[in-house]
Amino acid sequence: MGNEPMAIFHFPRAILHIDGDAFFASCEQSRNPQYRGKPLITGKERGIVASMSYEAKALGITRAMRLLEAKKACPELIMLPSDYETYSLLSKRFYAIVKRYTPDVEEYSIDECFADLTGLRRPFRMPYIKIAEAIKRDLDTELGFTFSVGLGPNKVVAKIGSKWKKPSGLTAIPGNRIHKYIENLSVDKLWGIGPATTAFLAKQNIFTALQFARRQPEWIRHYFPRPIFDIWEELHGKYVIPIDTKPKESYESIQKMKTFSPASNDPAFVFSQLSKNIENATMKVRRYKLAAAEAVFFLRTQQFEDYGVEVRLSRPTAAPNDFIKMAEVVYPRLFRAGSWYRSTGVVLFNLVPDQSGQLDLFGASVEIQKMQKLYRAVDQMRAKFGKHTLYLGSSHYANKFAQHVGERGDTPERKSSLLRGESRRRHLGIPMFMGEVS
């Protein structure tokens, strides 16, 4: 914000973007004070860096770096397995704090959200920038780590603001000052602008966000779809991309991928991991009462080479058996003898509402309805006793062993330190504080 007078901070619409700084690593530092101020990464179980603290980042540690390389760059590096249960609980607390101030919150991802403050100056008796400061202060204090906040007239500009000064920054960008913040901003730093769009714009000698914003609307409409035009309009201060406060109820695609260690060259074991991915993906498909007729199966080698194949079924389904049968057919094209594999995955796409219960002339739906009834019972058992209480025989090897064995087999402290009344599968919604209290 600098020393600019408060008068220029006028917002006909006031949108916040709030971003947790190094969220996963910060969650670990928050709940365990001995880690604070030290280089730390999560992702030990995957063999690569999933998240790093700012102390680790300053030493050259980057996301997706292999653990051996990270340890070589920083011998004192603290390496922890990812504890997604705790991160999710702290994420919910993050949203709850923001919702004290406004109900209009879009839970964009586990570590970021948008919030609409429009019209709240009078009830809070303070300008929008002061409300933003109060939200940030509550988040930093109550969660024990910092957040970066951007305030703007729309989502695109608010997102620019939250990235402007990290970590722990708060940047307000009113409509009449947008040009000052985008004149030297690389166009690929804009939310929603991907590599293909960036490459096309470079061919047109457009390299900054301001150069993009100065193009005529007719030119933008001619070359780009509506979402890119919406970004262009928001760079001009308009509010066109609404805050979406509804919980996610549907998906265009569902992906399930798992890394396992040590790597394996056993075709039966690797296929079992793929089968487990398929079971997990169809479980989520059924939860949203969807079905899919298309899928991509893929394997990843120890050298991070991916091999995939796309399949199409004769009808949409939510039963894992149908996809596993197809996986058995194409698996010989995926698995290469002599290669070592570290992860498998599946993407189910072109999802549609599950209407397989409708009757047909040939009685096929009778068998389908039997399968639906079976998996309703399976899902109920899993909800009560644990996700992998029941599984198909093709997933046996993957479920028989821990996902990670050896030095990467550490389990998060939250899973190994149970509270009274908890079991390995059923936890209370409490992110355990792991530090010592004096």
Q: What is the pLDDT of residue 72?
A: 93
Q: What is the pLDDT of residue 249?
A: 64
Q: Are residues 26 and 157 in the same domain?
A: yes
- What CATH number is associated with residue 146? 3.30.70.270
Which one of the listed residues 112, 233, 234, 279 is annotated catalytic? 112
In a domain, 291, yes or no: yes
In a domain, 417, yes or no: no
In a domain, 180, yes or no: yes
Q: Each residue of 145-157: pLDDT tens digit?
A: 999 999 999 999 9
Q: Are residues 137 and 165 in the same domain?
A: yes
In a domain, 258, yes or no: yes
Q: Which residues lie closer than 8 Å to 251 by C-beta, 6 or more apart?
A: 284, 288, 290, 351
* φ, ψ dihedrals at 314, nearest 5°: -75, -20
- Which range of residues forms the domain containing residue 67? 10-172
- What CATH number is associated with residue 368? 3.30.1490.100
Q: Are residues 182 and 270 in the same domain?
A: no
Q: Give the C-alpha separation, 330 to 402, whole Å.
A: 27
Q: Are residues 65 and 180 in the same domain?
A: no
* pTM recorded for the entire structure: 0.73
Q: Are residues 145 and 40 in the same domain?
A: yes
Q: Give 219's Cβ-side CA count (13 Å radius).
A: 10
In a domain, 163, yes or no: yes
Rg of the chain on CA atoms, in Å? 25
Q: What is the pLDDT of residue 220?
A: 96
In a domain, 437, yes or no: no
Q: Are residues 382 and 267 in the same domain?
A: yes
Q: What is the pLDDT of residue 199?
A: 95
Q: What are 314's two structure tokens?
A: 């004769």
Q: Are residues 58 and 111 in the same domain?
A: yes
Q: Are residues 151 and 34 in the same domain?
A: yes
Q: Which residues lie closer than 8 Å to 3 by C-beta, 6 or more apart?
A: none
Q: Are residues 262 and 285 in the same domain?
A: yes
Q: Give the C-alpha separation, 37 to 225, whole Å.
A: 45
112 tagged catalytic: yes
Q: Which amino acid is it at 126?
A: M
Q: What is the pLDDT of residue 438?
A: 34
Q: Are residues 123 and 198 in the same domain?
A: no
Which parts of the chain register pLDDT below 50? 1-8, 358-361, 435-438
Q: Each residue of 304-323: pLDDT tens digit?
A: 888 999 999 988 999 999 99
In a domain, 415, yes or no: no
Q: What is the pLDDT of residue 8?
A: 47
Q: Each residue of 226-283: pLDDT tens digit?
A: 999 999 999 999 999 999 998 766 677 899 998 888 889 999 999 999 999 999 999 9
- What CATH number is associated with residue 231? 1.10.150.20
Q: Are residues 367 and 390 in the same domain?
A: yes
* Selection from 153, 146, 151, 114 nearest residue 131 by Cα: 151
Q: Are residues 208 and 295 in the same domain?
A: no
Q: What is the pLDDT of residue 168?
A: 97
How many domains is the chain partitioned into structurally? 3
